[in-house]
Structure 1
Amino acid sequence: MTVMNINALSVIRGDLLFDELNLTISKGDRIGLVAANGRGKTTLLECMAGQSEPTNGSIVRARGLRAGYVTQYVPERAYAKTLYEWVLGALPAEQAEYESWRVDVVLGDLSVPLELQHRLLNELSGGWQRIALLAAAWIQEPDILLLDEPTNHLDLHRMGLLQNWLSALPREVPIVVTSHDRAFLDATTNKTLFLRAKKSRVFSLPFSAARAALDEADAADQRRFANDLNKAQQLRKQAAKLKNIGINSGSDLLVNKTKQLNDRAAQIEASAKAAHYERSAGDIRLVNSGTHARALITLDDARVETPDGRLLYKTGRKWILPGDRIVLLGANGTGKTRLIKMVQSALSGNSGVVKCAPSVVPAYSDQHLSQLSDSDTPMVAVTGQFDIGDQRARGVLAGAGVNIQMQGTKIGALSGGQKARLAMLILRLKNPNFYLLDEPTNHLDIEGQEALEGELITHGASCLLVSHDRSFLRNVGNRFWLVTDKGLEETGSPEPFLASEMGS
């Protein structure tokens, strides 16, 4: 049964976001909505939820359809409420008075610990805040769920809880979800919409299979376009020959034939559909300046401690060699970020049980992008650190997806995706040979993640990184260190740890 029909939908918000979009949503659909940052995913969800109007086209909803829309950001008014109060407040007043038990059921299904339920939302992590938004939407018994980046801020354990919860929902409730987590999309969707300014495509496949089908379709379009242009070129060549013969012989018939051939060529050129070209949000190009050191970093049984001095674990003797792309694995709170910060401190000149080769040129990015100052502009951030001149600075910023209008804007006003790309650009400009990355894919869209993966691998970059993104760490890592109660252990594969954290 169809619950929503989207017909020839177009949205312009300064630029064209998408055009002539057609989509049918039926019961049982689990749709992954995929596009680069800033290309209209949130706008489309707002249109589906009735919170935004399209420029053209229509959305026909089943009679009485209730949409549960989980936004990407927590409303400001929510922070003064406890998690329990926020979910209860989603019910109509008369229901909230007599059916508060429904909150207990929903929070139980989402595995929210009792001790967190009565804490203020502004005291909870971003992951639990997102769970609160999800619970508030679901308690209203919607006929369709619209989820905007529900995986943001979730660790692997909560990602597993969310996946299992979605899988257990009644099959008749369709879901439309945006996410940059490719493994999550593969696990939770059966249909994928690639949203594009022109010629969006829908495949009845989860993300990875749909991405392969999309590449094939784009390649076929490219071949058709090339063939059409070749046909038009051949017709014009024939027309040119006939024109010369007609002029020399004075034949009106040949002159008319020449016009017909040119007209036919023009028709082919006008109707030829160019293959889709993704208007890139900016390439991420990392480099590796090289080093002759045998070991870049040496950990000599380093103590990893909490800020108040409590021992978390010892590293044992470990080395990071040129070409190593080491992924740190471990549950939240076990001290992965603490080790990253210890190495970063040693790279900054504070020696100790972490030794760094003199030839190491480091580049560091943490999960909060604290290396960026919100009060700076992107131009100041680049020209203040690197002697490259204003013109080149504008060029490299544009190449990183920071357009001319954004370059003079305060960094604090940029989106998370724009900040992430700016941070990666600054790393690249340092021309490092060792990257220290704590959750580098936070806020990066799938296009940006794949670009970063490709650059780290292609250039043989050495790095120590932490990531909750399963696809990213599987693709990038060639060594894995696991934090256990026994210390820091080398493991041949991340899969046992991932399976344990995801509850599978």
Structure 2
Amino acid sequence: MINIQNLSLRAGVKPLLDSANLAIHPGQKIGLVGQNGAGKTTLFRAILGQVTIDAGNLGMPAEWVIGYVEQETDAKQQTVIEYVSFGDELYAKAIASLKKAEAEHNDNAIVAAYDQLDKLHGYAVENQTKQLLYGLGFSEEDFSKSIDAFSGGWQVRLKLARALMQRSDLLLLDEPTNHLDIEAVSWLKQWLKSFDGAVLVISHDRDFLDQVVQGIAHIDNQKINFYQGNFAAFERQRNERLMQQQALHDKQKQQMQHLKTFISRFKAKASKAKQAQSRVKALERMEMVAAVQASNPFHFEFAEPKSQPDPMLKIENLSFAYPDKPIINEANLTLRSGDRIGLVGVNGSGKTTLLKLIVGELKPVNGKVISARGVKVGYFSQHQLETLRPEWSPLKHLLALEDAPSDQQARDFLGGFGFSNEQCLESIAPFSGGEKARLALAIIVFQEPNLIILDEPTNHLDMETRDALEMALNDYSGALLLVSHDKHLLASIADQYWWVHQGMVELFYGDLDQYLSEQLKRIKQSAEAQKQMEGADDANKSQNKKQQRIENANLRKQLDQLIKADLQRSRKLEKELDKAQGKLGKLHQKMEDSSLYDDANKDELSQCLQQEADCQALIEALEMEWMEVEETIQAKRDEFESGL
């Protein structure tokens, strides 16, 4: 396991972590959360050995392989298949050895290379690569293209796919969903659930964390606090902890006031001077318990629309095509007052193009968009941050709008979006992406639209701002049109979905879970069809390989007999693990009931917590024993292979 003990990290002179502790066990999946700038990415870089540790210890098994998404790549001319499959470094080395042996016409080296590929199950790598690519939204025609043929966002997907191909013991993922559509995010959740290694993932997507992780590491006040369970369990446990902290704080305030009153009354009296002095010391020694702060520093709301024409707009026979690709063909839709529409479809299907046609940034080839009189659109595009003026301050951005507020009104308004008086006057050039996104939202909110169109608004937002945005949108009575890969936000806001696919835009009859289920089924069917098409070719390759090695059926039977008992033990442990994990799941479900935390149920809560701890300990013990049995089986197989 990775053992972080008393770790201290800095970013320049700014302390990020101070005596922080965390343990990451084999196979454990942990979400790393905390406010922007808390040190999450710096911790990743420390694990990778890219930054110097100021104090403490970061212990890691020497044999562990850490997988991560590369920031830059020099392989721009490689094909997609090569680039992603070579994320498996052992496979890449074996292929390199094979190519070298073939170039040198070295028969012995060729046989050795094929042997190495066999041990690595190398003939399955290309198919695994293609399944990864299908899941992340690539088509078969993309596989032979070079990396530099793709835009920046799609190159980020390729880097993620390459990271997932690594034979890693620990996978580090920093906001992996930011450049994915909701369909690819759904697929990634399933992939990570089946991944055998450990995962440490930074994410502000609560639904993603709820589905993937079994623990939350929260960076707060330069410490790392670990919570068992998914993000929902973390919120429940942390709220309980904060409530207890508030109660302790209130009690301590009473004690301190009592001490101060005693000191004030009696410190001047000789007969009480000694007792008063002891209370002064007690007051000095008393550890201050911080009061619970408001859980979210951001709060804003959209004004009630002054008018809501119905229908707000109509799309009639709308068609659009880029020079090399048709996008939308004869779409007919109506957006009515109060509609809350989620726009879904894989990346490249035309969602953003449709929004640009609606707001007039693009002109249709045929058809038209008819807006009702009085429609006022608030539009947040994927590239909204680029429309801000870097040299301007937040205050200047607001004062430059039509119907600009007074200076003080603008400052008060920006304060609701987390901008202090000092920040209101600063140039936004050094602002983070999250701060710029908050400013862009503030500008939209101020203009009081009756139709809000949001295209991936959460890409740069932290959890607190996402929550504030969700609450504001839920309270908004105007019409909404939303594109987002954040399932939690989309499911919370939209009550109907427009599906963009194969040039069509049509109403999807079902909820978001039904839509995603259908898309996952489609991805699996595509991957399975490709697998069947390549089956014959793989069989031929396998046969050629086998002809270069001496098969011995009797030895195979001996091996089966040799590992039979171990395999039986492994299966038994797996059943016990399933049973224990099922029990743990039921406990977590029970602990979701808020009434369990009432004073009357303290004993039952204690029993649940004890059972949870016992269950977790049992699971860890079973996992360790299962791993030992699997290692024994593999060792026997390796010994057999070396004897062939």
TM-score, normalised to structure 1, is 0.83
Q: Give the 5 Å matches for 1:181-192.
A: 181-192=205-216
Distance 1:336 1:433 in 2: 21
Superposition deviation, residue 234 in structure 1: 2.0
Change (3 A) 1:127 1:187: farther
Distance 1:186 1:98 in 2: 43
Q: Aligned partner of 1:53: which letter? A: T
- Residue 425 (structure 1) aligned to one of 442, 463, 486: 442
Bigger drift between 233-242 and 32-41 goes to 233-242
Change (3 A) 1:89 1:29: closer
| Structure 2 SS opposite 1:23 | strand
Deviations 1:324-348 (Å, cap 9, x if unpaired)?
Answer: 3322233444433233222212999
Q: Which residue of 2 aligns with 1:176?
A: 200
Q: Which residue of 2 aligns with 1:274?
A: 290
Determine if the alignment matches structure 1 residue 220 to structure 2 residue 244: yes
Distance 2:310 2:391 in 1: 36
Q: Which residue of 1 aligns with 2:514?
A: 496
Q: Which residue of 1 aligns with 2:278?
A: 260
Distance 2:140 2:66 in 1: 28
Q: Aligned partner of 2:358: which letter? A: V
| Structure 2 SS opposite 1:473 | helix
CA contact (8 A) 2:219 2:225 kept: yes
Superposition deviation, residue 193 in structure 1: 0.8
Distance 1:138 1:483 in 2: 28
| Structure 2 SS opposite 1:195 | strand
Bigger drift between 102-111 and 466-475 goes to 102-111
Deviations 1:248-268 (Å, cap 9, x if unpaired)?
Answer: xxxx33222222233323322
| Structure 1 SS opposite 2:360 | helix
5+ long unaligned stretches in structure 2: 100-116, 525-644
Q: Which residue of 2 aligns with 1:32?
A: 31
Superposition deviation, residue 162 in structure 1: 2.1
Q: Give the 5 Å matches for 1:185-204.
A: 185-204=209-228
Q: Aligned partner of 2:485: which letter? A: H
Superposition deviation, residue 12 in structure 1: 2.5
Superposition deviation, residue 376 in structure 1: 4.5
Bigger drift between 306-315 and 294-303 goes to 306-315
Distance 1:346 1:138 in 2: 37
Deviations 1:245-300 (Å, cap 9, x if unpaired)?
Answer: x63xxxx33222222233323322xx1221464897x7362422522334261315
Distance 1:346 1:416 in 2: 24
CA contact (8 A) 2:3 2:24 kept: yes
Bigger drift between 51-60 and 384-393 goes to 384-393
Deviations 1:171-225 (Å, cap 9, x if unpaired)?
Answer: xx21101122222211211111111234432111111221221122122212212
Superposition deviation, residue 453 in structure 1: 0.4
Q: Aligned partner of 1:259: which letter? A: Q
Determine if the alignment matches structure 1 residue 478 to structure 2 residue 495: yes
Distance 1:118 1:476 in 2: 39
Determine if the alignment matches structure 1 residue 77 to structure 2 residue 74: yes
> Alpha carbon RMSD of aligned pairs, Å?
3.5
- Residue 466 (structure 1) aligned to one of 472, 476, 483: 483
Distance 2:205 2:167 in 1: 26
Distance 2:413 2:206 in 1: 28
CA contact (8 A) 1:4 1:60 kept: yes
Distance 1:7 1:276 in 2: 27
| Structure 2 SS opposite 1:51 | coil
Q: Give the 5 Å matches for 1:83-482.
A: 83-87=80-84, 88=86, 91=89, 94-98=93-97, 102=122, 104=126, 106-112=128-134, 113-126=139-152, 128-170=154-196, 173-243=197-267, 247=269, 252-268=270-286, 271-275=287-291, 277=293, 283=298, 285-295=300-310, 297-299=312-314, 301-307=316-322, 310=326, 312-316=328-332, 318-322=334-338, 324-345=339-360, 353-369=368-384, 372-373=387-388, 376-379=391-394, 381-385=397-401, 387-388=404-405, 400=417, 408-409=426-427, 411=429, 414-482=431-499
Deviations 1:454-497 (Å, cap 9, x if unpaired)?
Answer: 11123435321111211001112234334467752264632211
Q: Which has the higher contact order (CA 8 A, sep 6+)?
A: 1
Superposition deviation, residue 105 in structure 1: 5.2
Q: Which residue of 1 aligns with 2:5?
A: 7
Change (3 A) 1:353 1:496: same
Change (3 A) 1:158 1:310: closer
CA contact (8 A) 1:26 1:174 kept: yes
Superposition deviation, residue 420 in structure 1: 1.8
Deviations 1:12-41 (Å, cap 9, x if unpaired)?
Answer: 224332333210111121001112322211
Superposition deviation, residue 452 in structure 1: 0.6
5+ long unaligned stretches in structure 1: none
CA contact (8 A) 1:299 1:315 kept: no
CA contact (8 A) 2:301 2:475 kept: no
CA contact (8 A) 2:207 2:488 kept: yes
Distance 1:339 1:284 in 2: 31
Change (3 A) 1:228 1:371: same
| Structure 2 SS opposite 1:36 | coil
Larger Rg: 2
Distance 2:168 2:131 in 1: 16
Identity %: 29
Bigger drift between 417-426 and 234-243 goes to 234-243
Distance 1:274 1:212 in 2: 20
More helix by share: 2
| Structure 2 SS opposite 1:432 | coil
Distance 1:276 1:63 in 2: 42
Superposition deviation, residue 408 in structure 1: 5.0
Q: Which residue of 2 aligns with 1:48?
A: 47
Bigger drift between 54-63 and 303-312 goes to 303-312
Change (3 A) 1:174 1:371: closer
